[in-house]
Every structure is written in C-alpha cells, then in structure tokens.
C-alpha cells in the first residue's frame, strides 16, 4: 500500500491545536507517516511521545535556520543549524530534512547564486555523511505562493543536487509547485528518481486536497512509483473538508 504522510501544519489543524494530538489523529485515520515544517517552534517532547505511542513514522521536517542558501554569508549559520536539525531527526526517527534555497538576491547574478547554493549543499552533504539523514532542496512555484524564490525549476534543482557530488543531497519534489510552473513530471524528473528524496502533493487551483482541482495526481504519482520512488507521499494541502475525509478520498484517487 502507498505510504501517505500528513503535513500536520494543515491537516488536522481544525481538529486539534496540539501537534501531538494531530499526530494521534493522523494515526487514527490510518496514515503511515506525518511531517511538519519547523522544529524549533514545536514541543519536541510531546511529539516524540506521540510518535512512540502510535508507532507512526516522521517522514520529514525543515532543516533550520531557514535563510537564503544562495548567500555565502549564511553558510556557517546554516551548517551549524543543520547539525542541530540532524540531532533532532535522529531523535525523532526522521530520515529526510527539507531545505529551501531562499529568495533571489538583488544585485547578484543567478550563476553566482547557484554556485554558492551548490557549495553550501556540498558542505551540507559532508555534515550529513554517516548520519543516516538526507537533505532535499525544494523547488517552489514563483507564480502564486513564493514570488521571488530562487529555485523554481525542478530540472535546475536536480542539477544543483547532482553538482554537489554528494549522495546525501537530493530534492523534495512537490507536484503542486511543479504543476503550477507548467512542468510535466516525466520530463523534469527523467531518469533522476534517485535524487527525489520526498514527494509533496496538493491540487491546483487552490492548493487543496486531491480531487478539488485539475492536476492528474494519480497519473503523476503513479509515474513516480513506476520509476522506483518508494518513499512517503506527503499530503501538504489545505483541506476543504475534514482531514480524515480528504485522506480517505485521496487514497481512492491515488489508487
């Protein structure tokens, strides 16, 4: 059965204020995994308790601090924070961390920023070596949700990951962001499924649950699985109905 992961920043937010309780609700709804964004604003003790109590997996969370990785002045701070994020990931059993490139920096060339990003992620790979934790940089759409963001192309994200020469560095492939940018999944992933560390989905328009928009999520996710992707499918959408209802419907849609 396909492994689904609830992003509890949005899913079960209407049902519970407490993140630990959202994890419990995800488990009750039959989900195999959960994920969230920042860890520094969470009660890690209660989250650890809920994960152990339910046996549910923590698929991913964001490596902090969230600062532009295209600025070399931020490199040391990010790498120091990455070490702490790795410690939290190992404590909670997560094997994938998420990095965001940050916004395009005014007055700096795209080529120069890309070179800095590659170098920072290369250094990150060295920090990650032997930890059992991987880092995926996430391309985001710049048309609706993240105007001004540097890394908006999946192809370029894969190029950056491969340029590091580090097996610990890949991408987070968000089908919603990719579709908003007009990308076709097979064309942009091609034969690089090994660099896809985690997948996010939402429908478009609206960034709501599968079936609420126009993206053929069954086809796109099915293709990723056919290519060998075996990780969790992250449900990172704003539910229009109850979270449990949308999860049940998503299972049917994805097949």
Residue 173 DSSP code: E
| pLDDT in the model for residue 3 | 97
- E-strand ranges in the chain read 4-7, 33-35, 57-62, 96-99, 134-137, 169-174, 196-201, 233-235
Residue spans per domain, the chain? 4-254
Going by C-alpha positions, the residue among 35, 33, 36 that lies closest to residue 3 is: 33
| pLDDT in the model for residue 14 | 98
d(CA 166, CA 123): 9
| Two structure tokens written together for 220 | 């796109």
| pLDDT in the model for residue 34 | 99
| pLDDT in the model for residue 17 | 97
Q: What is the mean pLDDT of residues 163-190?
A: 98
Q: What is the mean pLDDT of residues 161-176?
A: 98
Quick check: 38 and 61 in contact, CB under 8 A? yes
| pLDDT in the model for residue 1 | 76
pLDDT in tens, 7-31: 999 999 999 999 999 999 999 999 9
Quick check: 154 and 189 in contact, CB under 8 A? yes
Q: Is the pLDDT of residue 126 over 80?
A: yes
- The domain made up of 4-254 has a fold known as TIM Barrel (3.20.20)
| Two structure tokens written together for 196 | 């896809």
């Amino acid at each position: 059965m396909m492994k689904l992961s609830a992003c509890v920043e949005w899913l079960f937010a209407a049902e519970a204020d407490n993140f630990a309780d959202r994890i419990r609700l995800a488990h009750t709804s039959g989900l195999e995994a959960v994920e969230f964004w920042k860890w520094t604003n969470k009660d890690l003790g209660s989250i650890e308790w809920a994960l152990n109590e339910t046996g549910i997996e923590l698929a991913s969370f964001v490596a902090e601090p969230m600062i532009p990785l295209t600025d070399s002045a931020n490199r040391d701070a990010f790498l120091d924070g990455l070490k702490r994020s790795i410690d939290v990931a190992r404590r909670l059993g997560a094997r994938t961390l998420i990095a965001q490139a940050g916004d395009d920096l005014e007055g700096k060339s795209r080529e120069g920023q890309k070179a800095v990003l590659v170098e920072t992620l290369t250094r990150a790979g060295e920090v990650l070596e032997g930890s059992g934790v991987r880092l995926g940089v996430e391309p985001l759409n710049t048309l609706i949700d993240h105007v001004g963001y540097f890394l908006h192309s999946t192809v370029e994200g894969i190029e950056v990951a491969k340029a590091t020469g580090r097996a610990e560095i890949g991408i987070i492939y968000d089908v919603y962001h990719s579709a908003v940018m007009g990308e076709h999944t097979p064309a942009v992933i091609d034969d690089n499924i090994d660099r896809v560390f985690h997948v996010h989905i939402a429908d478009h328009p609206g960034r709501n649950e599968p079936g609420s928009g126009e993206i053929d999520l069954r086809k796109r996710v099915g293709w990723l699985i056919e290519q060998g992707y075996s990780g969790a499918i992250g449900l990172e959408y704003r539910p229009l109905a109850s979270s449990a209802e949308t999860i049940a419907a998503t299972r049917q849609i994805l097949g």
